[in-house]
Amino acid sequence: MIYDIAAIEQFTTKENFTVMRVEVVINGWNGFVDPSSIQWYEINFYSSMGALTALSGDEHSIYIDSADATISETWQGAGFLHSFDIDAGIYAGDQFVSVISRNNFSEAGQVGIEASTTKNGDGSLIFSNPGEGFENGPVWTVSGDMACRLIGEYGVVCIGDIDGNGEVEIDDMLALIAAWGQCGSCAADINGDTNVDIEDLLLLISGWGPC
């Protein structure tokens, strides 16, 4: 039984949006002391409820090394306020976001996102639970909102425009194929999971044309 679970917030953006920073309050329990035990983070954006059966997002799945997380030293609330600088375009409409923090729970406890106390969310969040641990199904909804903020800009989002000429075309596809495989951090890795593969190619094709 696998107990890896992602807490996911649903939100709606009226226009295309480029997420430039994600802020989230992370806390832990069952032996957790502080975020120095967290091995890595993953920021995920999902396009639909159907995509929530996986922990990683279908639109973006951005790996963040623990050394690249910024943790506030002045945060007065519960837990630890983290911020992550990213560059992730998302399309107008319903969207879903999660921030996964990876901890070895047998040594350092469990970690997760704090509940918001601002009461300006919709009052619910979703758990993605592909291992179906805790005798719950793969996806379920609970009351509460995540302490999470997205900062960025409205405007044109050009997912798949690798060369940045304002159009997704054959040059971008050739650049993607040339970068195929593990790449760490590269422009052809459209969903940000450090690997250029079929998922990136499908995202590129879905954005085909001028933007």
Instruction: Give the binding site for Ca ion (CB under 5 A).
Output: 9, 121-122, 125, 145, 161, 163, 165, 167, 172, 189, 191, 193, 195, 200
To Ca ion, the closest distance from the beta carbon of 49 in angstroms equals 14
Q: 37 vs 95, which CB is nearer to Ca ion?
A: 95
Q: 38 vs 146, which CB is nearer to Ca ion?
A: 146
> How many CB atoms are closer than 10 A to CB 36?
8
Q: 71 vs 173, which CB is nearer to Ca ion?
A: 173
To Ca ion, the closest distance from the beta carbon of 100 in angstroms equals 16
To Ca ion, the closest distance from the beta carbon of 190 in angstroms equals 6
To Ca ion, the closest distance from the beta carbon of 197 in angstroms equals 6
Q: 70 vs 165, which CB is nearer to Ca ion?
A: 165
Going by their DSSP bridges, the two strands 60-65 and 80-90 should be labelled as unpaired
Question: Under a CB-based contact definition with an 8 Å cutoff, are residues 120 and 148 in contact?
Answer: no
Q: What are phi and psi of 8, to 5 degrees?
A: -125, 135
Both tokens of residue 209? 């044309």
Both tokens of residue 32? 């957790």
Report how far residue 154's alpha carbon sits from residue 90's, in angstroms, rounded to the nearest whole number.
Answer: 10
Query: Could you tell me which of 126, 119, 114 has the C-alpha nearest to residue 54?
Result: 126
Alpha-carbon radius of gyration of the chain: 17
Q: 105 vs 149, which CB is nearer to Ca ion?
A: 149
To Ca ion, the closest distance from the beta carbon of 39 in angstroms equals 20
